[in-house]
Amino acid sequence: MALGIIAFAASVSVQAYQVGSHWVQGQAGPGFFPFWLGVLLALCGAIILVREARAANGKTFFHDRTGLVSVVKVTATAAGMLVVTYLIGFRAASIIYLFVYLRFIGKHRWPAVIAMSLLIPITGYYLFERVLQVGLPRGVFELPYLG
Amino acid sequence: MWQAIQDLTFGLGVAVHPLNLLAGALGVITGTIIGVIPALGPTQGAALLLPVVFRLPPATGLIFLSGLYMGAIYGGSVTSILFNIPGTPMSAASAFDGYPMALKGQGARALAGSALSAFIAGTVCIILFTFFARPIAEYALTWGPPEYFSVMLLAYAALAGLEGGSVIKTSVSVLIGLILTGIGVDVITGMPRITYGSTDLLAGIKFLVVVVGMFGIGELLRAAEENIMTKGAVKAKVGLKDIAGALREMLGYWKTFIRSTLIGFWIGVLPGTGATPASFVGYGLAKKFAKNPEKFGTGALEGVVAPESAASSAEVGSLLPLVTLGIPGSPTAAVILGALMIWGLQPGPLLMLDHPEIVWGFIASMYIAAVLSMILNLFCIPLWTQILRIPFTVQVPLIVFLCYIGGYTENNTLFTMWMVLVFGVIGFLFKKFGYPLAPLVVAVVLGDDTESSFRRSLILSRGSPAIFFTRPVSLVLLLLALALFLFPVVSPAMKRWRQRPARSARIAAAAGGEPSSRAVETGAGPGTQGPA
């Protein structure tokens, strides 16, 4: 984590330096603020790195496998939904996502799964597309009736 | 005095408008549901509902948010007391004594005590708020960019000093938040910066995406890892007898109550820090000053009254800097600030003059929301506990679905949905490695203003940074910021220094045959002067 912070800080500072982190005509340039924030962040990252290296490191990141597995499940399905959204649009993707999650991860009964995976997206569209006029993302390939 | 009463009655007039009253009631119900669900607190709830809320007129939307805010506080306490599952972090301290009370079969009395103390403390603080708001806002009108920059530094310093975790980790959180707002087109020169060559990042990273991702998805991942499950449910139904009993017992704790309320209000007013630290400080102080501290943790009503009144006071207090200076006093206040900005309203001293109906309507609606949520929570508790039965595997896809739509409404691209997911994972990692999230959110909200007030000050001073130290108000704010930042470093040293005289005093008192409680009390006194 500390290394990641330092890397992020360095990348920010380098880019800020490129747009001008010095004083232009007696004023701070556009990169001045991000540049010094990046420097400070790298400094904090370095302190944390030193502290963590000194502390005895016997802790495991996840207490047990079930924790890791459920986090991966939630993240992977959520990412998968966005890929499907890119392909066939948000409406169809959310129906598929809810269906897959409820049935295969939640292991709920069929009637409940079907009812929820239709009701939640339909309420969502009605509220956002009709009432609030937010056009939800369309996909590359649109399905009839769903797109 | 007269002005304050006039302001409040004007606000009440706005808040009791039927549409606003309905919005407030809906807000309380939604808020309570959000509060009861462990993965959702008021900050997440407000963030998730922002896309819907900011399409309402500002006054109505704010009243909805204040209802949600109050409802979530009460809802969180219900699960905290009955199931030992804090529905919100700020109600975690209420479980210390509330859950043992529930196990002893006094759950109804604990719930009544919690709702009553939150309600009374909230009322006291709304009155305090009304008196302070106008003078502070009028004073802040004389401020220029240097003072604003210094007060924002004060906000970051207060976060570092009070968050309770490591100062360095809080600083990391603030710095990352500030850098995130710098991404995109520079507001003063129009130059693109830190975009990693991506055109999607040119538009910048918006507050809504960060908040929905970190609090919505991030908390969900954390809940997934911890595998929060509903433990054996404790039956509780609150009747009028429980309320009367709790109220009678609470009269004996008036000292604890006043202490918690004042400390909570002060912690709330301090920029950035909200109800969660306040509730722990309130509990800690009550235990420190109690005649028999060993009863705490075993199911004492006093241990419920102290954190509840402190948390409720802090929530009200955190809105004072928001309304008067445009600086959020807590993460939830930061979300409300974000909402105001989406409506095109600039929070700060001018808001109170230009849109009094919004400010006072909001404040008065908090009062109505407090009444509504107390009634709802005292008599509908069996209903709320049913919500906990919603399986986690149903909550997950529903929250993910809402988070995506929430992030998407920011600028209508699929890219923002990916950003929501990315920030969710980052938020989870932050929690995992012990980095606090609240400072990052506050920094994201204030980031643009921090940078522009810094650069505008330099334009005023023709490039000389001395402007921050030569203007007296700015200097005082900077010194206060420095003190708050150094507080966590200095306070352990001070504690050691203080313990010596206290111990010798106790020995002297014991030798004199006097009860030692007085000596301990005076010995601990100075510690409460600061933002302990």
Examine the domain organization and report whether A28 and A79 are in the same domain.
no
The pLDDT value recorded for residue B498 is: 62
The span from the CA of B156 to the CA of B169, in Å, is 12
Whether A90 and A134 share a structural domain: yes
Separation in Å, CA B257 to CA B80, B272, B276, B285: 20, 24, 17, 11
Statement to judge: residues A73 and A126 lie in one domain = yes
- Among A37, A56, A75, which residue terminates a domain? A56
**Domain final residue, candidates A26, A56, A86:** A56
On whether both A80 and A139 belong to a single domain, the answer is yes
- Indicate the residue of B171, B225, B418 with minimum beta-carbon distance to A70: B225
pTM for the model stands at 0.74
State the Cα–Cα distance between residues B266 and B200, nearest whole angstrom.
42
User: Distances in Å between the alpha carbon of B212 and those of A84, B49, B60, B127, B209?
Assistant: 21, 10, 22, 32, 5
Rounded CA-CA distance B302/B306 in Å is 6
Task: Let me know whether A70 and A142 are in one domain.
Answer: yes
Q: How confident is the model at residue A147 (pLDDT cuts 50, 70, 90)?
A: very low
Chain A within 8 Å of B410 (Cβ-Cβ)?
no
> Residue B512, Cα to own-chain centre: how many angstroms?
46
Instruction: Report which secondary-structure segment, H or E, holds A134.
Output: none
Nearest Cβ partner for A75 among B182, B394, B425: B425
Report chain A residues whose CB lies below 8 A from the CB of B224. 67, 70-71, 73-74
The backbone torsions φ and ψ at residue A28, rounded to the nearest 5 degrees and listed phi first, read -70, 135
Q: Which domain holds residue A98?
A: 65-146
Please indicate, yes or no, whether residues A43 and A71 belong to a single structural domain of this protein: no
Give Cα B481 distance to the centre of its chain.
20
Q: How confident is the model at residue B502 (pLDDT cuts 50, 70, 90)?
A: low
Helices B275-289, B517-524: axis angle to 10 degrees equals 150
SS3 content of chain A, % helix, strand, coil (to 5): 70, 5, 25
pLDDT given at position B459? 79
Of B403, B402, B393, B398, the residue nearest B424 (C-alpha): B403
Judge if A79 and A52 occupy the same domain: no
A24 three-class SS: strand
Distance from the A68 Cα atom to the nearest Cα atom in chain B, whole angstroms: 6
Instruction: Check whether residue A13 and residue A83 sit in a common domain.
Output: no
Angle at A29 between CA A27 and CA A31, to 5 degrees: 150
B202-241 confidence digits (pLDDT tens): 777 877 788 778 877 887 888 787 765 544 445 556 677 7
| CB-closest option in B401, B409, B462 to A124 | B401
| Region A24-33 average pLDDT | 70
A74 & A142 share domain: yes
- Output the pLDDT for position B399: 81
Cα angle B337, B339, B343; round to 5: 115
A73 and A49 in a common domain: no
The arithmetic mean of pLDDT across residues B343-364, rounded, is: 81
Q: Which segment, B73-87, B328-342, B381-395, is predicted with the most confidence on average?
A: B328-342
Measured between CA atoms, how close is B446 to chain A, in angstroms? 14
According to the model, what pLDDT value does residue B516 have?
A: 37
Residues A51 and A76 in one domain: no
How does residue B153 score in pLDDT terms, banded at 50, 70 and 90? Answer: confident
Both A133 and A103 in a single domain?
yes
Cβ-defined contact of A101 to B397 (cutoff 8 Å): yes
Q: Work out the minimum CA distance from B141 to partner chain A, whole angstroms.
A: 26
Task: Tell me the pLDDT band of B400, cut-offs 50, 70 and 90.
Answer: confident
Total domains present in chain A: 2
For the segment B172-205, what is each residue's pLDDT rounded down to a tens digit? 888 888 888 888 777 677 777 777 777 777 777 8
What's the pLDDT band for A58 if we cut at 50, 70, 90? low
Q: pLDDT tens digits for B244-284? A: 777 788 777 888 888 888 888 888 887 766 777 788 888 88
